[in-house]
Structure 1
Amino acid sequence: MTSHSILHGPMAMGATSAVAFFLMALVWLAYLFGVWRTRRQKPWPWWRTLLFTAGCATLAVGFVPDLMHAAHQDVRMHMVVHLLLGMFAPLGLVFAAPMTLLLRNLPPGGARGLVRFLGTGPIRVLTHPLTAAILDIGGMYLLYMTSLYAHSLHSPWLSNVLHLHFVISGTLFTWAIAGPDPAPHRPGWRMRMAVLFVAMAAHATLGKLLYAFGFPRGTGAALEELQQAAVWMYYWGDLAEAVLVGALMLAWLRRRRRMAHPGGVASGMSPL
């Protein structure tokens, strides 16, 4: 067995997966506890709980040791993990409105403190759609168009950091564009739609570059394998982004209805 296989074999992946599963279980149970407390006083949509469960389950699949091991042997499997952690899991996690649930369960003082913290300058910059897009899509360019991906194949800590980045940047981008939680300082739908379309174009361009020029380099993978991975990223990424477009358009339509209704009040809330 090569040193590369030893570093990233299924058994070596076990510790990372165990930590990931433990953290996901804690977060999922905390969400369920919040739902239980909330429903004692006010209804909570069952489908939000289902979405959060689906998001956690998708993360869990992405951290299965055998799949993580395969992702270090095959660029196509890496792309599967990337899509699961960075594009599909965030849809369930964000559209489950966890921040709204948290605010309902905090005491008044704690809720006001959290709202003040979310309104601070650094957090507003971090959660701006442009910042989120740079971290998410820009991170993909940095990973696949440089030697960073090849280095991650021989560095377990770097690989773990990349997996964490997929989850955080994907969740942040999804929330910044179409998150249902209240966000008083979030830019209007025109800005968010413009950023989303630019991000979609950048993502599609990256897929074409990977396909045409055989990126990422230094992996030792056959050109056919690299091209297949690029195709999967291109088309499955489009599907996740289409969900964001649909959610944002639906938010705009509902906002229009609220404004047109005699007693309606416009808000920054997404319909999901």
Structure 2
Amino acid sequence: MPLPILLDTDLGSDVDDELALALLWGSPEVELLGVSTTYGDVDLRARIVRRMAVLTGRDVLVAPGEPTPLSGRDVWWAGIEGVAYGDLPAEDATTTGAQLLLDRGAGADLLAIAPLTTVAVALGAGLEPAGITVMGGDWADPDAAEHNIASDVVAARRVLGSGLPITVVGVDVTRRVTFADPEIGRFAACGELGAVIAREMRAWMARWDEDVEVPHDPLTALALLQPDLFAFTPPVAVEVADSGAVRIVDGPGTVRIAIDVDAAAARTAMADRIAAGLTPVSS
């Protein structure tokens, strides 16, 4: 049976969100039930998702989620969102991201690779997923504040304290795996979307003066699909500081945290799945 998955994403800023969507498309065991876009210009993010689907001949159900963090923190905006895709005409949304998660999320796995605002709103409305896999936090440094958690600490506390089975992959693990020229060249050869993604990867690396791309979000997706490549803590209780820093605390909990990954095997598995997802499907 296919694995039903919903994706909540701030796709359009760091290219790793786009890589994660391609990975889901390239995973034959996955049934992608829908995509909600979160944080900032959520309508633009949804239009990018639709254009990605068009470029690969896929269908996708996408809805714009919550634009404003529950914490009231200002939205960080890279300024390059959607530029690589050219004109992205607006479309009327028929539902919201939170409603999409609520309508389709019962019994599905939720992959949350963005600030957790939309997920928190959907949980408050009664969403009951089978589990949630979150990209967020730095679990090796109790003073470090990672973007997804720090962008909405109110939402992060609600989600991580929900009592649902949650798996978290933090930057302390995602930074152990990188993509470089071999992967970028491979993706560039995978059709029109692959060429766009390769250009975006190089542009993002240049923006930060780096020679590798850290695939935070596709690695988190891989933890859901191939957990055997990872080591995890047993379920624990966690705490989110006002700064966005996270740590394990005493007491019973339902959050398991990735603490290690087979980096070489994960890189290969991600690249294979992403290449398949970027390649246009046969008509």
Q: TM-score with structure 1 length normalisation? A: 0.28
Point out the structure with max Rg over C-alpha. Answer: 1
Q: TM-score with structure 2 length normalisation? A: 0.28
Higher relative contact order (CA 8 A, sep 6+): 2
Kindly indicate which of the two structures has a greater share of residues assigned to strand. Answer: 2
Kindly indicate which of the two structures has a greater share of residues assigned to helix. Answer: 1
